[in-house]
Structure 1
Amino acid sequence: MEKRITFWDNLKFLLIIFMVIGHLAYEFTDISKTARFLYLSIYSFHMPLFIFISGLFHKSDKFKQHILFYISIGFSQKMFNVLLAFLFHESIHFKLLSDGGIPWFMFVLAIYTLLAELLKDQNHTYLILAFVCLACFITYDSSINDYLYLSRTIVFFPFYLLGVICQPERCLVIKQKFFLQGKILASIFLTVILFLFYFKLNSFYPFRYLFTGRAISPEQFNDYNPLHRLFCYGLTICMSLSIMALVPIKHLTGISHWGRKTINVLFYHWPLIKIIGHFISFKQLYQHPIGMVSYYLIAILISILLSQKIFDYPILWIRKQIFTTKKVISN
């Protein structure tokens, strides 16, 4: 069995916490500056960095099984969400080949795995530049939307390819070589950019549409241009490098293990939030400073809870069905 590098597990668990916090913050962006600040800050790096890590561990062996696994998890999420809506008497929305919600990530990973295999013998540097240029101009195409996850596929694919080009061990060597310098520069950069995000929020907040990777509405076409997309790419890379520089390399009790279960958190966290929301009024809780802090502590507790073994299913069962080697019986 391949030895795991604890740094990547530590980073993944931090990112999944940010994901849950970001989804919680989104619910109150219309009434809270803090929520808008958190939403903007988190979305500026968390999904591109997750996708980079996925590319980093891309493997050609069993790539067909990986594609099937991602698609299976994505559709399982869709059906689970529909079942939950039915149980709580909510309006039911099911789109087979389109999604703006959480399942999109699984389908995009399936597409990236296929593309990486089809293009593995091509010049990856050229491909990254080509997709960056393409992402800069799809803003002007009103036909690009959530159907077939096309917008996010194009926008985030350069990060997956960057991961394919790099190697996990090489990244770790670079981090160790510039350990102190990296932490100092990362701390300075994050302090400055988060200061600007908070105190110049009205100037930066419109970029949230570009950070999500989703297509913008026709009414917003005149608000963005290719330079805005390039700016977002640059900011995302700097934010991601800073986060990577600050995350510890050593094994962290609990965190390093929980970092292996991020797909469980991805699968269950939104349904769990909706269930809790039927018993607790998040809006009333959020109106008080202590309640606001408690609200985001809930995100951390949810991430820890869903990283426990009991939540391995049905993901573990699906994985076993797909990756178990079929025995061939000879006569």
Structure 2
Amino acid sequence: MNKPSVVFVNNLKFVLICFVVVANSIEPLIGKSVGLHMLYQGIYTFHIPMFVFAMGLLAKEFKLEHRGLRVLTIIAWQYVLFQTAYSLLDTTYFHAPNVVYSFFMPYSLLWFLCSHFCWRILLVPFLRLKHPLLPAILLGIAVGYMPWSGAILSLSRTFVYFPFFLAGYYCRIDRKLFVRLRKWRLFSTALAALWFLALAIFRSWLPSPWLYGNATYLEMGVSQWYSGLYRLALYSVQAVVSIAFLSWIPWTLKSWTGWGKRTVYVFLLHGLLLKTIIASGFYQGLETPLHMSLAFLLAAALIILLSIGKVERFTRPMFEPSLRLPKGLRMHGKSVWK
């Protein structure tokens, strides 16, 4: 199906997964390079909000009925499967610092699965509200005042990024959106460029946890009553940079558009491969800019390798198995990520 809306969403997903892999590939090097640190924080300004936005686009038909329960079951299955795999590999090979082995503390990028499950559930009560986006934003600000860790069950990220999920759910992919994005392209891109410039000049003033969304204000060392205003300001920046990003996503069919249908396999598998490569010591010898450029080649190789059809055919039975609900209804069919 090559409808403009479907093409746009597939293009969006593929470009986003490229930024995800690039950001994760250069992360071990950001302490060695000002340029990579700026690029890393620049990507984090929009790539999580936009991936959450894309998940909202794909949730338009979600209801708590047979198909909706299948979606939730598959997401939960993927979380349990990969949380187990990551934990076992970490104890035997990765040995990453400060890891808590618990299903209540998502390992690395698996927070996205935990939050995706919750975003779908949150749709049910929020869709009953007349103006759901405003209370979602207020909750995203308020969650930072929690007295306990924001990483537990990805609670902080769930509420911090839920406004972007709602925005995706309510966004209509049509010609009018294309015209609006083109209209604001130059202005939003100019503002985004200013943000990247600010990150390059004042790289120490924005701690990365603000962009991760995984910590409370107290955990980030900001305990004032007005700390939520910082998140509100960051929401504004993320919205502008995200609009700039969306304005450059092509609406026409490209040679790589079909790869946007397989982003789940890239997402779920690239972390395992990257963790293995990091544990092997590959990054320890990357000191010069020329050597650091190998991180980009590594990212490109992972994207191409994991986007091929054979990976989907081989892993889909394991990642999205056919399941049965209590009534004996067989759960199979379209991927929950498409």
TM over 0.5, shorter chain: yes
Taking the aligned partners of 2:260 and 2:163, their CA distance within structure 1 comes to: 24
Q: In the alignment, which residue of structure 2 is the partner of 1:115?
A: 122
1:308 matched to 2:311: no
Relative distance call for 1:119 and 1:192 in structure 2 (3 A) is closer
Taking the aligned partners of 2:46 and 2:244, their CA distance within structure 1 comes to: 10
- 1:13 deviation in Å? 1.2
Taking the aligned partners of 1:147 and 1:79, their CA distance within structure 2 comes to: 17
1:228 matched to 2:235: no
Q: Which amino acid aligns with 2:144?
A: T
- 1:249 deviation in Å? 1.2
TM-score, normalization: structure 2? 0.85
SS of aligned partner of 1:45 = helix
SS of aligned partner of 2:221 = helix
Number of residue-to-residue matches in the alignment: 318
- Asked whether the equivalents of residues 186 and 246 of structure 1 are also in contact (C-alpha less than 8 Å), the reply is no
Relative distance call for 1:28 and 1:142 in structure 2 (3 A) is farther
Unaligned runs of 5+ in 1: none
1:326 matched to 2:332: no
Q: In the alignment, which residue of structure 1 is the partner of 2:49?
A: 48
Taking the aligned partners of 1:156 and 1:36, their CA distance within structure 2 comes to: 23
Taking the aligned partners of 1:65 and 1:182, their CA distance within structure 2 comes to: 39
Q: Which amino acid aligns with 1:16?
A: I
Taking the aligned partners of 2:309 and 2:91, their CA distance within structure 1 comes to: 27
1:106 matched to 2:91: no
Unaligned runs of 5+ in 2: 331-338
Q: What is the 5 A alignment of 1:72-83?
A: 72-83=77-88
RMSD: 2.6
Q: Which amino acid aligns with 1:11?
A: L
- Asked whether the equivalents of residues 55 and 164 of structure 1 are also in contact (C-alpha less than 8 Å), the reply is yes
Relative distance call for 1:88 and 1:226 in structure 2 (3 A) is closer
Q: In the alignment, which residue of structure 2 is the partner of 1:57?
A: 58
> Which range is displaced more, 157-166 or 88-97?
88-97
- Asked whether the equivalents of residues 133 and 167 of structure 2 are also in contact (C-alpha less than 8 Å), the reply is yes
- 1:77 deviation in Å? 1.3
1:185 matched to 2:187: yes
Taking the aligned partners of 2:168 and 2:232, their CA distance within structure 1 comes to: 19
- Asked whether the equivalents of residues 18 and 46 of structure 1 are also in contact (C-alpha less than 8 Å), the reply is yes
- Asked whether the equivalents of residues 19 and 47 of structure 2 are also in contact (C-alpha less than 8 Å), the reply is yes
- Asked whether the equivalents of residues 183 and 245 of structure 1 are also in contact (C-alpha less than 8 Å), the reply is yes
Tell me which stretches of 4 or more aligned residues in structure 1 moved more than 4 Å: 1-4
> Which range is displaced more, 141-150 or 79-88?
79-88
Taking the aligned partners of 1:93 and 1:301, their CA distance within structure 2 comes to: 30
Q: Which amino acid aligns with 2:252?
A: K
- Asked whether the equivalents of residues 41 and 194 of structure 1 are also in contact (C-alpha less than 8 Å), the reply is yes
Relative distance call for 1:220 and 1:279 in structure 2 (3 A) is closer
Taking the aligned partners of 1:185 and 1:31, their CA distance within structure 2 comes to: 33
Q: In the alignment, which residue of structure 2 is the partner of 1:239?
A: 241
Identical counterparts, % of pairs: 22
Q: In the alignment, which residue of structure 2 is the partner of 1:134?
A: 139
- Asked whether the equivalents of residues 108 and 152 of structure 1 are also in contact (C-alpha less than 8 Å), the reply is yes
SS of aligned partner of 1:185 = helix
SS of aligned partner of 1:52 = helix
> Which range is displaced more, 23-32 or 105-114?
23-32
- 1:144 deviation in Å? 4.3
Q: In the alignment, which residue of structure 2 is the partner of 1:269?
A: 270
Q: In the alignment, which residue of structure 1 is the partner of 2:71?
A: 66
- Asked whether the equivalents of residues 138 and 144 of structure 1 are also in contact (C-alpha less than 8 Å), the reply is no
Taking the aligned partners of 2:94 and 2:136, their CA distance within structure 1 comes to: 42
